[in-house]
């Protein structure tokens, strides 16, 4: 980096660090030279950061395919949770909320999806303090229309059983916030089951539920969406796509992305640190 450019960057960072929004917060600055996504992820892990916050310009189509997006790469691969704020999204300012900050956490019944629960709870409690934050849990369920030669009555029973199982699952997760490992955050919890006819529609249903929680009386919308990513790359990613990335493309809400193996990585880093000591 040219000396004059280095100086310009540092001056810009100083201006941000001294802004009113960051008053009273300890701020450290660092200029990184190299691949932005790689360097950000490496720094976050080495410094044992709790969260990466990034703004996404929302490039789509051919431009995104060729150039990629730093925010997208970091969100997909980072083992540190990433909060991506899209262009056009409203500022996250708790004082201006019409209700306590509310985060929607999308679950599919698998344990890996639950990795997003702890980071979502931490962020929600921090934004709401000293008030009580809120989390809305959703469980996505595939609604069957036909099943081979099964009669319509049997298909209806299968759908009812799937809904009952999903509701039972959400009650178990809710118990974790009331009496279990997440109770210390003192959050208000609501739940709803979201059905979809096709797996390709899941991302649409997540966004719809975030914008208007129709099944919960007194609740109109969420402020942030939290989801887990498996971090697939290469040909496998091109084939399977990513529900999380489709949500990122389409929503104007901030998106908290948590890698499915983030907890394992954090535990491994802590173990290595203790051994080094």
DSSP for residue 144: P
pLDDT, position 200:
87
Q: 234-251: per-residue pLDDT in tens?
A: 444 443 457 888 898 888
Beta-carbon contacts of residue 9 (< 8 Å; ≥ 6 apart): 1, 31
Q: What is the pTM of this model?
A: 0.85
Burial of 242: CB neighbours in 10 Å, binned 0-12, 13-18, 19+: buried
Is 16 domain-assigned? no
Q: Any idea what the CATH number is for the domain that residue 179 is in?
A: 3.40.50.12370
Is 45 domain-assigned? no
pLDDT, position 218:
54
Q: Round to whole Å and give the CA distance between 237 and 14.
A: 39
Total number of domains in the chain: 1
Radius of gyration from C-alpha coordinates of the chain? 21
Is 109 domain-assigned? yes
Is 64 domain-assigned? yes
Q: Round to whole Å and give the CA distance between 183 and 170.
A: 15
Lowest mean pLDDT among 12-26, 118-132, 209-223, 251-265: 209-223
Is 212 domain-assigned? yes
Structural domain for 54, as ranges: 50-276
pLDDT, position 241:
52
Is 1 domain-assigned? no
């Amino acid at each position: 980096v040219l000396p004059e450019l280095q100086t310009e960057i540092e001056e810009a960072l100083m201006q941000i660090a001294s802004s009113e929004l960051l008053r009273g917060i300890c701020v450290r600055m660092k200029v990184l030279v190299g691949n932005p996504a790689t360097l950000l992820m490496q720094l976050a892990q080495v410094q044992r950061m709790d969260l990466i916050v990034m703004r996404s310009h929302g490039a789509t189509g051919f431009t995104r395919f060729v150039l990629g997006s730093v925010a997208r790469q970091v969100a997909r691969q980072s083992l540190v949770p990433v909060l991506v704020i899209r262009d056009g999204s409203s500022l996250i300012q708790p004082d201006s909320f019409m209700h306590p900050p509310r985060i929607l956490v999308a679950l599919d019944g698998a344990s890996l999806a639950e990795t997003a629960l702890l980071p979502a709870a931490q962020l929600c409690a921090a934004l709401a303090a000293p008030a009580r934050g809120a989390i809305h849990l959703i469980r996505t369920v595939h609604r069957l229309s036909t099943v081979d030669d099964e009669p319509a009555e049997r298909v209806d029973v299968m759908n009812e059983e799937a809904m009952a199982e999903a509701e039972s699952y959400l009650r178990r997760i809710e118990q974790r916030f009331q009496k279990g490992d997440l109770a210390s955050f003192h959050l208000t919890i609501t739940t709803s089951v979201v059905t979809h006819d096709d797996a390709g529609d899941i991302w649409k249903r997540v966004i719809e539920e975030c914008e208007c929680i129709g099944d919960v009386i007194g609740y109109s919308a969420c402020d942030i969406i939290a989801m887990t990513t498996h971090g697939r790359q290469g040909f496998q990613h091109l084939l399977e796509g990513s529900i999380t990335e489709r949500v990122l493309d389409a929503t104007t809400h901030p998106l908290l992305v948590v890698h499915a193996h983030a907890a394992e990585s954090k535990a491994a880093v802590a173990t290595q640190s203790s051994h080094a000591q």
